[in-house]
Amino acid sequence: MTQLVHEHFGLTGCLTCWCPCITFGRVAEIVDKGQSSCCKMGCIFCVLNLLLLNHGSLSWIISMGYRTKIRQQYGIMGGSCEDCVLHFFCGRCALCQEYRELQFQGYDVGAGWEANAAKKASGVTMAPVGEKMTITTFKVIKFARVTRRSYHYLEKIS
Tens-of-pLDDT digits for all 158 residues of the chain? 345 544 445 667 777 778 888 999 999 999 999 999 999 999 999 888 887 665 567 888 889 999 999 999 999 988 888 888 988 888 888 999 999 999 999 999 989 999 999 988 887 655 555 444 444 444 444 455 554 544 444 444 44
Say how many Å lie between the first and final Cα of the chain, rounded. Answer: 32
Whole-prediction pTM: 0.69
What is residue 68's predicted lDDT score, i.e. its pLDDT? 92
The amino acid present at 29, given as its one-letter code, is E
**Which 8-state DSSP code applies to residue 131?**
P
What is residue 149's predicted lDDT score, i.e. its pLDDT? 47
> Directed axis angle between helix 80-104 and helix 20-31, to 10°?
80
Residue 156: phi and psi, rounded to 5, are: -70, -35
What is residue 137's predicted lDDT score, i.e. its pLDDT? 43
Q: How many CB atoms are closer than 10 A to CB 149? A: 13
**Which 8-state DSSP code applies to residue 34?**
T
What is the Cα 50 distance to its own chain's centre?
22
Q: What's the rounded Cα separation, in Å, for the pair 97 and 109? A: 12
Q: What's the rounded Cα separation, in Å, for the pair 45 and 92? A: 12
Q: What's the rounded Cα separation, in Å, for the pair 45 and 101? A: 20
Smallest CA-to-CA distance from 76 within 151, 145, 147, 149 is with: 145
What is residue 1's predicted lDDT score, i.e. its pLDDT? 37
